[in-house]
């Protein structure tokens, strides 16, 4: 054991990877539906590994923290700036007000409990489950005109308070928003009924909506049939057949035809289908199955069915598409034969209802015949070319520029203040993410790479924090005691309950959107999942994206504000 102890002290990078691997493992363990999550798991393992008194350069955590903050800003940038427009302003204002409560409640509770700056920052970070607040608060503390020993004592107190309050911050948020909040909105049955009613208005009850609009979606299928004397397609034009099927709420398309002389052609609207022709139909599987008895016998014709079909992610950037609903998009001429399979906004999968409004930077997944896909993608925006390469010129330049701006300081009352390099990186991420949504030909960060920047960046920072604070963790816990857990419950619950009341009585949001907006402003994805399960609908996600973008930005910046308030 002495040899192992010495090895970790000599090679601290090994201690970091040990902390990451065991921390992710602990964070993945579940008790019922609850798990600690990777961040708390890594922090706790960091404290344990840190008992070996391992010295790690502060530059290590700074590098990974800047990478994490830039990735956060990049992800939410399009929605952050889109929310500043007229249609999103109510949600932006809601999120801003709720974030103020998220700051004021922990601050007042910390003052009332006699906590110091570091303890208050840890309380804010853990109760609001925004780990990055600790990093920004640490940067701000390091700028204060106090002794280095005092600074280190405050910084070491943060992970103690974070760990104690994070558990209820996560599990409690999900419980409050999925169980208590619906009662405050009139009861769970009423909320479910109103949610279903809104879904119908948005088009979820429309059987003609595109396939794949559920988490376990039924994929688009391509089937071939022989036209006989009894076929409903006999002696009808292609356009006429498609219209007739559409009138029966079966949105199907004729994709290919083998004429009775055995030649294969691409269909034109006025082609008259003859006896002996073989036709390929595409569409939602159950729609095809519903028409099989009238179409004729199904055939297996490899040559006829062997044509290129694509799944393409398209960025919405064309002005004539932004602001349109899914139904309006689907009825455009270039969408013939091209279903919308999924919709993502700020990395969040949204329910694709007929009345869902498209925003700049949305990612629409189209599926269909290649020739149709190319035309549709060009009309909607920019088709993302699948690649595993990250534009590191864009990433590196963004972090450098943001860090330089953040490092600039000014004096207030003799105290030098600045956004810090971390705050600058976050702002740069917002701007660069927004630029990417407007000009998607450059600045690409594939989702797997973004996951690494987010998760590995944050958790490496947390690992170093835990290892560094390890030797003083036990003593710090003795100072705050279990009373901090009760204070954390109050700091978590007050903003959530205030958000529900504001959404219902001040902003008068729909109950489902109130729940989604509250979860978004508190950036609690776990709570969003619990809400959707509780109300039996994906609808709350429509209130999550804009408020999440605002909350993710303000709650991190509050690390600076709280330190200034406490000092």
Tens-place pLDDT, residues 269-279: 889 988 889 88
Q: pLDDT confidence of 206, banded at 50, 70, 90?
A: very low
With a cut of 80, say whether residue 429 has pLDDT above it: yes
Distance separating alpha carbons of residues 358 and 351, to the nearest angstrom:
12
- Classified as helix, coil or strand, 63 is helix
- Read off the pLDDT of residues 123-174 as tens digits, 9 standing for 90 and up: 999 899 888 888 889 888 988 888 989 998 899 888 888 888 887 887 788 8
Instruction: Return the pLDDT at 101.
Output: 96
Tokens of 422: 């971390």
The answer to whether the beta carbons of residues 527 and 544 sit under 8 Å apart is no
Of the candidates 44, 46, 42, 43, which has an alpha carbon nearest to the alpha carbon of residue 8?
46
- Over range 301-329, report the average pLDDT: 85
The beta strands (E) that lie in 346-490 are given as 348-349, 363-369, 381-383, 409-412, 415-418
Distance separating alpha carbons of residues 53 and 285, to the nearest angstrom:
61
Question: C-alpha 142: how far from its chain's center?
Answer: 32
Q: pLDDT confidence of 216, banded at 50, 70, 90?
A: very low
The beta strands (E) that lie in 137-285 are given as 220-226, 253-258, 264-265, 278-284
Of the candidates 103, 196, 131, 97, which has an alpha carbon nearest to the alpha carbon of residue 547?
97
> Which segments of 281-365 does DSSP mark as H helices, in order?
285-295, 302-305, 326-330
Instruction: Return the pLDDT at 171.
Output: 79
Mean confidence (pLDDT) of the chain? 84
- Over range 325-350, report the average pLDDT: 81
Distance separating alpha carbons of residues 330 and 500, to the nearest angstrom:
35
> In what helix (H) or strand (E) does residue 315 lie, and over which residues does it extend?
strand 309-316
With tokens 């000092």, the residue in question is 567
192 Cβ partners below 8 Å, 6+ apart?
A: 535, 536, 537
Instruction: Return the pLDDT at 288.
Output: 67
With a cut of 90, say whether residue 400 has pLDDT above it: yes
Distance separating alpha carbons of residues 566 and 398, to the nearest angstrom:
31
Higher per-residue confidence, 321 vs 541:
321
Residue 75: CB atoms within 10 Å = 24
Where is average pLDDT lowest: 116-130, 159-173, 185-199, 464-478?
464-478
Q: Cβ-count burial of 474 within 10 angstroms (0-12 exposed, 13-18 middle, 19+ buried)?
A: exposed
Q: Cβ-count burial of 441 within 10 angstroms (0-12 exposed, 13-18 middle, 19+ buried)?
A: exposed
pLDDT over 90 for what percent of the chain?
25
Instruction: Return the pLDDT at 209.
Output: 43
The answer to whether the beta carbons of residues 553 and 429 sit under 8 Å apart is no
Measure the CA angle with vertex 298, ends 297 and 304; round to 5°. 130
Secondary structure of 331-350 as H, E, C letters: CCHHHCCCCEEEEEECCEEC
- Read off the pLDDT of residues 519-564 as tens digits, 9 standing for 90 and up: 989 988 778 878 888 888 878 877 887 888 888 889 988 998 999 8
Instruction: Return the pLDDT at 217.
Output: 43
User: Strand 278-284 to strand 309-316: parallel, antiparallel, or no bridges (unpaired)?
Assistant: unpaired
Question: C-alpha 334: how far from its chain's center?
Answer: 30
Distance separating alpha carbons of residues 170 and 47, to the nearest angstrom:
20
380 Cβ partners below 8 Å, 6+ apart?
A: 314, 316, 317, 318, 321, 329, 364, 366
105 Cβ partners below 8 Å, 6+ apart?
A: 490, 491, 494, 495
- Over range 250-276, report the average pLDDT: 84
Range picked from 17-26, 33-42, 63-72, 154-163 for highest mean pLDDT: 17-26
With a cut of 50, say whether residue 378 has pLDDT above it: yes
Tokens of 352: 């694709």
Phi-psi region of 479 (alpha: psi -120 to 50; beta: other; left: phi over 0): alpha
Instruction: Return the pLDDT at 418.
Output: 63
- Classified as helix, coil or strand, 122 is helix
- Size (the chain), residues: 567
- Over range 251-269, report the average pLDDT: 83
Distance separating alpha carbons of residues 93 and 507, to the nearest angstrom:
9
Range picked from 124-138, 205-219, 307-321 for highest mean pLDDT: 124-138
What are 343's strand-pairing partners? 364
DSSP characters for 478-528?
Answer: HHH-THHHHHHHHHHHHHHHHHHHIIIIIS---HHHHHHHHHHHTT-HHHH
Distance separating alpha carbons of residues 164 and 159, to the nearest angstrom:
9
Instruction: Return the pLDDT at 361.
Output: 82
Higher per-residue confidence, 131 vs 495:
495
């Amino acid at each position: 054991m002495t040899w192992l102890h010495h090895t970790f002290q000599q090679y601290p990078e090994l201690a970091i990877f040990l902390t990451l691997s065991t921390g992710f493992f602990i964070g993945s363990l579940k008790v019922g539906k609850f798990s600690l999550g990777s961040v708390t798991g890594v922090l706790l393992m960091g404290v344990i590994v840190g008992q070996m008194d391992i010295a790690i350069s502060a530059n290590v955590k700074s590098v990974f923290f800047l990478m994490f903050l830039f990735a956060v800003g990049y992800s939410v940038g399009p929605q952050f700036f889109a929310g500043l427009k007229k249609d999103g302003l109510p949600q932006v204002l809601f999120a801003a007000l709720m974030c103020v409560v998220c700051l004021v409640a922990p601050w007042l509770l910390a003052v009332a409990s006699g906590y110091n700056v570091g303890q208050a920052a840890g309380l804010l970070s853990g109760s609001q489950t925004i780990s990055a607040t600790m990093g920004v608060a640490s940067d701000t503390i390091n700028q204060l005109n106090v002794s280095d020993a005092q600074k280190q004592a405050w910084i070491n107190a943060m992970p103690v308070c974070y760990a104690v309050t994070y558990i209820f911050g996560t599990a409690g948020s999900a419980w409050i928003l999925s169980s208590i909040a619906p009662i405050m909105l009139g009861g769970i049955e009423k909320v479910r009924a109103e949610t279903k009613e809104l879904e119908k208005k948005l088009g979820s009850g429309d059987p003609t909506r595109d396939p794949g609009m559920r988490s376990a979606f039924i994929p688009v299928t391509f089937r071939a049939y022989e036209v006989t004397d009894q076929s409903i397609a006999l002696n009808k034009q292609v356009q006429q057949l498609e219209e007739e099927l559409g009138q029966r709420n079966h949105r199907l398309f004729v994709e290919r035809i083998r004429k009775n002389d055995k030649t294969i052609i691409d269909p034109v609207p006025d082609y008259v289908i003859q006896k002996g022709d073989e036709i390929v139909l595409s569409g939602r599987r159950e729609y095809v199955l519903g028409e099989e008895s009238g179409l004729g016998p199904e055939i297996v014709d490899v040559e006829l069915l062997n044509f290129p079909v694509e799944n393409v992610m398209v960025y919405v950037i064309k002005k004539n598409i932004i602001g349109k609903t899914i139904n309006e998009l689907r009825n455009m001429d270039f969408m013939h034969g091209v279903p919308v399979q999924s919709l993502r906004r700020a990395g969040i999968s949204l329910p694709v209802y007929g009345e869902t409004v498209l925003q700049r930077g949305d990612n629409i997944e189209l599926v269909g015949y290649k020739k149709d896909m190319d035309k549709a993608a060009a009309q909607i925006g920019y088709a993302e070319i699948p690649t595993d390469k990250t534009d590191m010129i864009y990433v590196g330049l963004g972090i450098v520029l943001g860090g330089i701006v953040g490092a600039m300081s000014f004096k207030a009352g003799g105290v030098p203040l600045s956004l810090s390099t971390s705050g600058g990186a976050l702002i740069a991420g917002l701007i660069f993410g927004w630029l990417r949504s407007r000009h998607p030909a450059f600045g690409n960060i594939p989702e797997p790479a973004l996951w690494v920047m987010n998760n590995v960046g944050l958790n490496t920072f947390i690992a170093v924090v835990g290892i560094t604070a390890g030797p003083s963790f036990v003593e710090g816990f003795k100072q705050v005691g279990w009373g901090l857990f009760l204070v954390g419950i109050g700091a978590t619950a007050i903003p959530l309950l205030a958000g529900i009341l504001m959404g219902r009585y001040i902003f008068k949001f729909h109950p489902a959107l109130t729940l989604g907006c509250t979860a978004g402003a508190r950036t609690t994805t776990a709570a969003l999942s619990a809400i959707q399960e509780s109300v039996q609908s994906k609808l709350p996600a429509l209130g999550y994206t804009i408020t999440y973008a605002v909350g993710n930005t303000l709650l991190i910046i509050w690390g600076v504000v709280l330190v200034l308030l406490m000092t």
